[in-house]
Structure 1
Amino acid sequence: MKTLSVSLLAAACVAALSLWFSSAAVLPEMLAEASITPTRQAFLTSGVQIGFVVGALGFAVLGLPDRIHPARLFAACAATAALVNAALLVTPIGGNAAIAARVVTGALLAGVYPVGMKIAVGWGTRDRGFLVGLLVGALTLGSASPHLIALSGGANWRVTVSITSLAGLSAAFLMLGVQLGPYHAQAARFDIRAVTRAWTDRRIRLAYAGYLGHMWELYAVWSWAGAAMAASFALRMAPEDALPLARIATFCAVAAGGIACIAARWIADRIGKAQVAILALAVSGTCALAAALTFGGPVWIVVAVFVLWGFSVIPDSAQFSALVADFAPPEQAGSLMTLQTALGFALTFVTVQATPVIAASTGWPPVLALLALGPAFGLVAMIRLHHMGRR
């Protein structure tokens, strides 16, 4: 029962999370049909981020995962998100209704991934690290999938939106076969006192700082790596060849992180969570600078840099939440992790929104270099946290 339920859950996460970047993956085809300002282009992706923040806080405050069977809540949110995503097919391209649909999709996905994580950890204690890594890997693979799906749609972006919407509906059906594990427990309601502890407890504050540095680059890379690589490749080949190659490279880059997530949880149990975060932040920050320096260079070098960036940008994600859980009082751990997630995704709204706007005026290399500021900030925080543990 455990293997079946966890397998169905992981598959459902992959399918449902394909909705996240369904518009970003087909933006070039949308621009071929309609003129969309850089700001509105960004809103089509960053709207999901802000919707997720509002949704996550709303679910936590209302305690919905405890009032509704988690698997049914996941299914309902995935199905509804799929229908809202399909609204992109009938709303004006880049219009207010399309952006609103992206915000609502993000809010509904807050009932998918966090709830899926809660279901997963209910199936084990000793292998909980593996279960968390598996779900983060599923999130990563699902986020990568629209770039691969976009290749099948060719110039017709509506095919990609339709396929991702059907994937969201399939996630709902998959969840009908998921059972709750023997270690399933109620989630605590959001405790406003967690805000104070997040600031006064230095260990938690440093874990938050590391997470914010990580989130500074993560979704900006996932959202715009394809656009950056397409622009870089276009300096070496025909634009009609650059875009398909950029999509394949983006899928490989993001999907590589999914493999790294599972390995990171295994390594963290042996060398420590902070050490894994330090290594990942150092590599991803270096890749950000390398991406700026190699922009417009040989295609194989650019692809290699972005794939390594994608591999290193995500495996530390679960470590920050685990560190907060380690340091927090048990009765506030859930609220502190919810607050951490909300702050991180709120920050991604800024970076995802700003990246294409700045790139339109300065070019891609300066923007890619700026993304290195996040992991540099997080790296300093995690080194300090590591030194605290050695005292």
Structure 2
Amino acid sequence: MTAAMTLGYMPWYNFSAVLKYLADEFHLSASDTGWILAAFQAGYVIVVGGTGWLGDRLSLKKIVFWATLVTGVFSTLFVWGARGKESIIALRLITGLSAGAIYVPGMALLSRWFSPKERGGALGAYTGALVAAYAGGYLIAGRLAAAYGWRTGILWTSLPAILAAILIVWLVPEAPPGEETKAGEKGLGPEAPGRASNGKEKAEILEAPPGGFKGPVFLSASYLGHMWELYAFWGWIGPFLVSAALTVGMAPDEAVKWGGTFAAGIILIGAPASWGWGIVADRKGRTWAIMVASILSAGAECFLGYLYGHSLALLVLLGCWIGFWVIADSAIYKAGLTEMVLPRIRATSLGFQSVAGFFVTIISPMVFGKILEHYNGPVAAAQVKVWGPAFLVLGIGGAAAPTLAWILRRQKQANLMAGGKK
């Protein structure tokens, strides 16, 4: 599953990696770029909630397979189909629609194999693979585009998704041996959250504790703040570093190559963060881990853009700090939610949380682009000189995550997470 995720999501940021060339060829402004980034996120949101519902009723493996395959096909079609702003938006929207059916069903499928005490680390590893895919897309597409043109960069970060679909068919089982997989019973086992066993074979589904869905709502609301900063940061960090590299005197091709490479490193550093911080959350508690990670990432984002024009090494160093913490708590929201809801609605709940979270990822890249245009005029991202206010808005929005996690920590349902560690 982690290998398939690494290959399957490479198309996500290949657009950002080759943006300099696309902007030059098709006259895309920073605001246009925000719309294109938002189109992909919008496609994801349209589909992701429905896949959670389907995942509680149909084969999770088949959903993940078909979604991964179609993602690869339409990302590959971008190579020949991109002819201007409108066609780029349409193709990125369709690719986002396909990608929206991978992550949530994949999380639900993977959660079948691990007990609640191990699930934070397992889902963190899966999220880490997603991060590696984003970084791989930036690295491969940027360097190939600088050497051979943007179409080559897009092509060789799209074909791996088709390979990922083949891996899913051949190597990923539907469920652990002996586990029920029919509708309404996915992931149920004697150790699953929401079940209590009295020593007999038959387990009984418990009623939800006092508070109903208050706990899941606060956790998901905290997730909104996390998602506000996360995907806009990932989508814009590459163009930001390309612009910064041009400012310090790099040639355009070198700026694209190294801007993409630095962005890939910044994103990739989040892969072990997601896995490692998931294990920390298993031991220290979900809300504690969320508050620490989100404060450290959002706080640094408030300053990043204002350092534009200073040493490129300083920008990359601070970017790496943000890249580590901005994703470190991502899987914790998922793990915590699976512990607070009944197993029979686990995939649906994950889908609703993802819809809410990814909805704000439609807005934040557009807001970022609009702020850039307000301060710089209708110029391409590579020509932007004022970045501070845009990154500041990401940090301010991200502050909602620790605030709401602190409120959740005071709720009774928080005791359901991480074996009572909140």
TM-score for both structures, normalised by structure 1: 0.88
What amino acid does structure 2 have at the position aligned with 1:292?
A: G
Once the two structures are overlaid, the 10-residue window that deviates more, 324-333 or 365-374, is 324-333
Which residues of 2 match residues 69-218 of structure 1 at below 5 A? Answer: 69-125=59-115, 126-149=117-140, 150-154=142-146, 156-177=149-170, 178-182=172-176, 183=179, 185=181, 201-218=213-230
> Could you report, residue by residue, the CA deviation over 1:3-58 in whole angstroms, capped at 9, with x for unpaired residues?
xxxxxx21111111001112222111112222124443223222111111111123
Q: Cα distance 1:325–1:77, how it changes in 2: closer, same or farther (>3 A)?
A: closer
Q: Is contact 2:266-2:323 (8 Å) kept?
A: yes
Q: Cα distance 1:305–1:184, how it changes in 2: closer, same or farther (>3 A)?
A: farther
1:227 is aligned to 2:227: no
What amino acid does structure 2 have at the position aligned with 1:180?
A: E
- What SS is found at the alignment partner of 2:316? helix
Which residue number corresponds to residue 193 of structure 1?
A: none
Q: Cα distance 1:188–1:319, how it changes in 2: closer, same or farther (>3 A)?
A: farther
What amino acid does structure 1 have at the position aligned with 2:93?
A: V
Q: Cα distance 1:250–1:188, how it changes in 2: closer, same or farther (>3 A)?
A: farther
Which residue number corresponds to residue 349 of structure 1?
A: 362
Q: Cα distance 1:207–1:166, how it changes in 2: closer, same or farther (>3 A)?
A: same
Q: CA deviation at 1:342?
A: 0.2
> Could you report, residue by residue, the CA deviation over 1:59-85 in whole angstroms, capped at 9, with x for unpaired residues?
234x25743x43333222222221111
Q: Cα distance 1:65–1:382, how it changes in 2: closer, same or farther (>3 A)?
A: closer
Gaps of at least 5 residues in structure 2 are 186-210, 376-385, 416-422
Instruction: Give the structure with higher Rg (CA).
Output: 2
Q: Is contact 2:293-2:329 (8 Å) kept?
A: yes
Q: Is contact 1:253-1:311 (8 Å) kept?
A: yes
Q: CA deviation at 1:366?
A: 0.8
Could you tell me how far apart the structure 1 residues matched to 2:154 and 2:279 are? 36
What amino acid does structure 2 have at the position aligned with 1:36?
A: L
Q: Is contact 2:227-2:361 (8 Å) kept?
A: yes
Q: CA deviation at 1:200?
A: 7.3
- The match for 2:18 among 13, 26, 30 is 26
Could you tell me how far apart the structure 2 residues matched to 1:349 and 1:187 are? 32
Between the aligned residues of both structures, percent identity stands at 23
Matched residue count: 373
Which residue number corresponds to residue 401 of structure 2?
A: 378
Once the two structures are overlaid, the 10-residue window that deviates more, 223-232 or 112-121, is 112-121
Q: CA deviation at 1:106?
A: 1.2
Once the two structures are overlaid, the 10-residue window that deviates more, 253-262 or 289-298, is 289-298
1:236 is aligned to 2:248: yes
TM-score for both structures, normalised by structure 2: 0.82
Once the two structures are overlaid, the 10-residue window that deviates more, 29-38 or 270-279, is 29-38
Which residues of 2 match residues 28-67 of structure 1 at below 5 A? Answer: 28-61=20-53, 63=54, 66-67=57-58
Gaps of at least 5 residues in structure 1 are 1-8, 190-198
1:12 is aligned to 2:18: no
Q: Cα distance 1:161–1:186, how it changes in 2: closer, same or farther (>3 A)?
A: farther
Which residue number corresponds to residue 253 of structure 1?
A: 266
Q: CA deviation at 1:242?
A: 3.2
